[in-house]
Each structure stands twice: as structure tokens, then as C-alpha cells.
Amino acid sequence: MSTNRLHDATSPYLQQHANNPVDWWPWCEEALEKARREDRPILLSIGYSACHWCHVMAHESFEDPVTADVMNALYVNIKVDREERPDLDRIYQTAHQLLARRAGGWPLTVFLSPDDLAPFFAGTYFPPQPRHGLPSFVDLLRQIEKAYREQRDAIREQNATLQAALVELDAVQPDSEDPDGVPLASALNQLAGQFDARHGGFGGAPKFPHPATLRFVLHQGMIRAEDATTHIALHTLQQMANGGINDHVGGGFCRYSVDERWMIPHFEKMLYDNGQLLGVYAEAWALAGHRPLFKHVCERTAEWVVREMQAPDGGYYASLDADSEGVEGKYYVWTPAEVVALLEDAEYRVFAPRYGLDHAANFEGHWHLHVRTDTDTIAERTGLGVRDVRGLLLSARQKLYVEREKRVRPGRDEKILTSWNALMIRGMAIAGRTFERADWLDSARAALDYLRRRHWRDGRLLATSRNGDARLSAYLDDHVFLIDAVLEMLQARWDSGLLAFAVTLAERVLDGFEDHAAGGFFFTASDHEALLHRPRPLADDALPSGNGIAITVLLRLAHLTGDMRFHDAATRALHAAWPILLRAPYAHVGLLDGLQQWLEPPAQVVLRGPAAMLPTWLQTATAAAGPGDAVYAIEDDAGDLPAALAAMPARTGSVVAYLCRGRQCEPPVDTLEDLRRVLGGNNGGAPASDTT
């Protein structure tokens, strides 16, 4: 029986707290009004379903009747799912950083003044008893409420200072000078200085994948023909693929590694990471040599997504927990005795050295699989052929997978988020067309159709749904990530209706999100609920910058449709962000991708012709495409084309190719030989061997 107001939430995270003795409210006007009317501070707790420490604090404090009594007596308690309300999370994480002078995290615990919703104290996890320099949560609750009663003037002064600081952080000063390539080179130098040459990635532990950064470095290395730059991306992708952050039994990547070697992950799996990584690995395979390891990663990741993360009606679920049976990683780890019992002697003979079972346990007395020895070395030591070794490893992994399926599975957050779905649709579209996998494209299209069916209502986009119940106005990321996904799908399978949908979304971005005075885009729409602050996302975090993706997709749409409103808005956004790009280029790779496209528009190839003839041309053009290039194969009878495409007519019984870069177009060509010539040959480089 539910004891608070979270029982009808779409968020599984909020529903996990529906039976707490805490009198939780969702974020709503009724709760805010109650706090104002009763002059009670707000305790805002932000987390998400797959968050390990959120579960710990819930068990220790929110399920405890004594703690709940104190919370209920002193505060209006509001629980927020950061994945459904990234606007609130973004605001209050930034506020935490300003107040605490250190990065935040989850669970985020923030105490708000009810009149202006400004935070006057913020922290993350607090224990039930004092430890590690932290007060007990109950003591903290009493101290904060006492301060609210006795130090009103100081709190008001601090709140005013904080609000001014938030405005200053997001302020832009548009530059009238045209942007140039200086921050591109600066960012590469900065990232090279942070690169871990041995293990890959940037910096030390904990180590995150940073897929947007890897894609930026990969593209820049190829564009500049700089092997050292390309190596940063390729080496990192290889080390992650071989590390324990990659699930070698079931596919998919965990959120981050707790060590610098990618060996032991924090075991939660997030849709947004895997969508981005799937696309990056597919691009790396296509652009920088056909490495079998990268193809293998794409296959295993896509299989996992379709098998475990796609709902029957098409949408992709949000995440898998790190815990099962209350223990982090329990679902994923092994003992040698378990593995010995499952495998034939020949299989174990190659499996143990491959995945580190012949070394000391690496996770709390158990083994978490990571690649320890390459297959060539195992073949040399055992006298087996490399193909035989790989065959034995495959059969061994399949046996472990079957056995693992018998375990209690980690919890799955089954809400469907527009922005995260868009990232996975994009990744599946890139991988599907790269490896000519119609089933992956079908999966992506099913998710896209779900969003259009459930999240598009009365000309407005919604942010989240569960069991088909869609709620909450969509944010900037939802719109621009979805446009990006549609543009990738159009390269795999043309659909004039999808292009029209992307244009409608872009018009909403210009109307509802653009800062018409200074340029650039706010995270929330102009008709969104009024909050403490209206953020303008310029820097990248786990997700690419909404402004960066906006610039990129608006430029692409301008070139595809001929509508220069989109180009002009992208240009205004670049001018607005230019001073920030110069100050900290490496933190803004999303904006740098947009800058690269603005400075040097990539190739746009439009193929027009009979359906039966287009696949060969599409394959040829795709194989020759460089970083950021786009290829659209449009049947000769396609209708409802925008003016720019309608000006590229088909010819009866043959294919004709149009190549443009920005507003500059080559004369059309009608032979494959001429197509290869105008594209300048294959930009992907020679195939590479794979000895992992």
C-alpha cells in the first residue's frame, strides 16, 4: 500500500520510494505551494533508478521510520528522477558545485528556500551515523532546519549571490568576428596532454568513456591526416573493448571504470552511453581500417540492445541497475570453480588466460572478465590455430551466458526517454548501414515510430513515457538529438515524411529555445515552467552539448532543404559561444563539431534513381565517405521533397549523383567511376589487422 504521492509516477525510481515512510511529493506546484504556505524548507532529493548510492541512502535513511519522522516534521520532501527532470538536475548540480566548491553526483541532497527555490545547503550522500567526516543525516536535518529559522537574512543574501552566479555562468557575449579553427587545434593539444598513452582514455581513475570526445578526436585525426591524433581514439576504443567496462558475456558497456585500466566498472548500464559508443565503434571501423574487434563490439552491443533494452512496442528502456540481490556486480562476476564446471578442458585452457582467471581475483574475491591475453599469444602457447582459439572462446562465452541467464537479473528502468532513445536510434542507424544489418535498422525504426506515436502530441514533443503514458514537455536535447537520429536514419532509408518531421522539430527549436537576443539555445522552452534558472548548455557532460548538436543538425538541415534560417541560427549560436570556445575548447567538443562543419562543410551526396539500382551506388558512396559526410539515396518517384532536393531531379532508368559541400555543388555524375572520382577515393584507410 502506497504511503505517499509517488505511486502513480511514470518514473520507476520514484515508484521505488512510494512505500517509504517519508511523505514524498513529486516536483509539482502543489508541493511548492505547501512549502510556501507553511514556511517550511524543501528537502529536494535527486537520483535515478540505476544509482547504487541512491539505493544505499534509501535503505539506510528513507526506509527508516525514525529518520522519516524527522523529515516529515521539518520539511516538504520532494523526490526527483534526474533522468525525467534533467532541467532540475542541471540547475541544482551546478548550484551544489557553487556552494560546496566540488562536483556533485547522486543522490543529490539539496535544501531549498520555499519562496525562491534557491538552495542554501547542498550535498550528496549522507550516512545514518557520523563517518568519513560526514554528519549523520538526522543531525544534518535538524541543523539545517535550525539554520533556516535563525539565519534568514544570511540565507537570503547567499541565495541572491548564488542566483547571480548562475546567471553569470550561463551568460554569453556574442563575438562579431567570424570563428576560425584555432579552438579545434587547441582542444586537440589539450586532449593529447590528458591522454593516458598506456591504458587509453583521459586522466586517471575513475575513467569515463567520453564517446563524444572520442568521436571528435577520431574525426579530427582523419580530417588532418594526423596518425597520432587518430591513435588517441583508436587506442582508447580498443582498450575499452578489451576492458571489463565491456560486458564480454552479454554485450554492452557499463557507465564507467573505477580504475584507470578499464578493468572494474561501476556495473550499471545506461542507454545513452551505449547508443553513442555503438555509433563511434561503427565509424571507427569504417573510417580507420576494418578492425574485427570494432565490428565484434558493434555486434555484441546491438544484440544486447535488441534483446534486453527494447520494449515490445518499440522504444528503448533507460538503464540496468548495478546491483542484483542487493549486491553490486553480483550478476556479472565469477569464480574459477564456476567456470571450470561449465567448460570443457579445451575451452577453459584458452578462456582462463584470455579473461584473467589465471591471475588473482580482481573484484571482492571474484573474477570480473577482461581481456588479459591476446589470441595470437594464446595460440602460440597452446599450439592451436588462431581460428580454433576464437572458436573455443565463442563457445565458452555462450555457455557462460546461458548460465548467467539463470541468475537474478539487475533491475531495469523501463521508462523511455526521448533524448536517450534518439542517441540509440542514431547509433543503431549508423551501425546498421555500416554493416548492412537490416535488423538493426528495423530496431531503430521501431523506436523512432514509438516516439512519433507516443511522444509527439498535438505538435509538441514530450520527454518521457512508461507503459505508453507520455509526460513532461521535452527539452532542447530531446529535440536536437531526435533531429540528429532522423538525419542518420534518412541515410539508411529515405523517407520524405521523416525529413518533414525533422524540419518541424527544428522550427520548434528556433521558436521555443533560441535566445533571440544573444544567440544559442536554452535547455528549456520559452513556455516551460519557471524555475530558479534557465540553463544554456554549452559544455559536454555524459551527453553531448545540446547547443553543439543543435548547430550541427541545423547546418545539415540547411544544406539538405535549402532553408537558410537554420544556417543563420547555427551561425548565431557559434558567435554566442565563441568566447567560451576560446577559453576552454576541450570541454566543448560538441560545439567544436559544429564549428568544424561551419568552417568546412562536409560532403553531402544525393543519389536519385530507380530503387533497384540505388543500393550499389549507396554502397560505393558510403565506402568513400569521410568524417561527417552524408549520403542520401532517394528513389526517383519520391515525393514531398523540399526545394533543394527537388532541384536534383532523377533521370529515367539510371542513377545520377549530386555532390555538394555547403552551398557549392559539383556537376552531377551518372557513372560509378565518376562518383568515386568526385568523392576523392576512400577516406577510410587500409584495413587493419586485429590481434586481440
| CATH (domain of 362) | 1.10.10
CATH label of the domain that carries residue 74: 3.40.30.10
| pLDDT classification of 141: cutoffs 50, 70, 90 | very high
Tell me, what amino acid is at 398?
A: Q
Say yes or no to pLDDT of 688 above 70: no
Residue 585 burial (10 A CB sphere; 0-12, 13-18, 19+): buried
pLDDT of residue 549: 98
Residue for grid cell 564446471: 341
Residue 332 burial (10 A CB sphere; 0-12, 13-18, 19+): buried
Distance CA 218, CA 629 (A): 14
- Domain assignment of residue 86, yes or no: yes
**Average pLDDT value for residue range 658-663:** 94
pLDDT of residue 691: 44
Q: What is the mean pLDDT of the chain?
A: 95
Of 406, 433, 467, the residue that ends a domain is: 406
| pLDDT classification of 414: cutoffs 50, 70, 90 | very high
Distance CA 410, CA 426 (A): 26
Of 369, 386, 406, the residue that ends a domain is: 406
**Average pLDDT value for residue range 282-306:** 97
- Domain assignment of residue 228, yes or no: no
- Domain assignment of residue 385, yes or no: yes
Cell reading at 523: 535547455
pLDDT in tens, 559-605: 999 999 999 999 999 999 999 999 999 999 999 999 999 999 999 99
pLDDT in tens, 492-514: 999 999 999 999 999 999 999 99
Residue among 427, 425, 423, 522 nearest 473 (CA): 522
Cell reading at 197: 598513452
- Domain assignment of residue 655, yes or no: yes
- Nearest 5°: the CA angle 423, 454, 307 is 50
Residue-range definition of the domain harbouring residue 347:
332-406
For β-strands 319-320 and 327-328, DSSP reports them as unpaired
Q: What is the DSSP string of 208-234?
A: ---HHHHHHHHHHHHHHT-HHHHHHHH
Peptide bond into 410 cis (omega under 30): no
- Domain assignment of residue 615, yes or no: yes
pLDDT of residue 682: 41
3-state helix, strand, coil in the chain (%, to 5): 50, 15, 35
Q: What DSSP character marks residue 111?
A: E
Domain count, the chain: 3
pLDDT of residue 553: 98
- Nearest 5°: the CA angle 529, 530, 536 is 95
pLDDT in tens, 349-383: 999 999 999 999 999 999 999 999 999 999 999 99
- Domain assignment of residue 341, yes or no: yes
| pLDDT classification of 406: cutoffs 50, 70, 90 | very high
pLDDT of residue 171: 87
Residue 142 burial (10 A CB sphere; 0-12, 13-18, 19+): middle
- Domain assignment of residue 37, yes or no: yes
**Average pLDDT value for residue range 664-685:** 81
The backbone torsions φ and ψ at residue 604, rounded to the nearest 5 degrees and listed phi first, read -125, 115
pLDDT in tens, 546-570: 999 999 999 999 999 999 999 999 9
Distance CA 672, CA 627 (A): 21
| pLDDT classification of 424: cutoffs 50, 70, 90 | very high
- Domain assignment of residue 53, yes or no: yes
Please check whether residue 229 is in contact with residue 221, taking contact to mean a CB–CB distance below 8 angstroms: yes
Cell reading at 578: 565563441
| pLDDT classification of 89: cutoffs 50, 70, 90 | very high
The backbone torsions φ and ψ at residue 432, rounded to the nearest 5 degrees and listed phi first, read -65, -45
pLDDT of residue 686: 38
pLDDT of residue 362: 95
Distance CA 453, CA 634 (A): 25
pTM: 0.95
pLDDT in tens, 24-45: 999 999 999 999 999 999 999 9
Please count the other Cβ atoms lying within 10 Å of the Cβ belonging to residue 192: 17
For β-strands 24-25 and 76-81, DSSP reports them as parallel
pLDDT of residue 685: 41
How many residues in the chain? Answer: 692
Of 170, 186, 205, the residue that ends a domain is: 170
Q: What is the 3-state secondary structure (H, E, C) of 259-298?
A: CCCCCCEECCEEHHHHHHHHHHHHHHHHHCCCCHHHHHHH
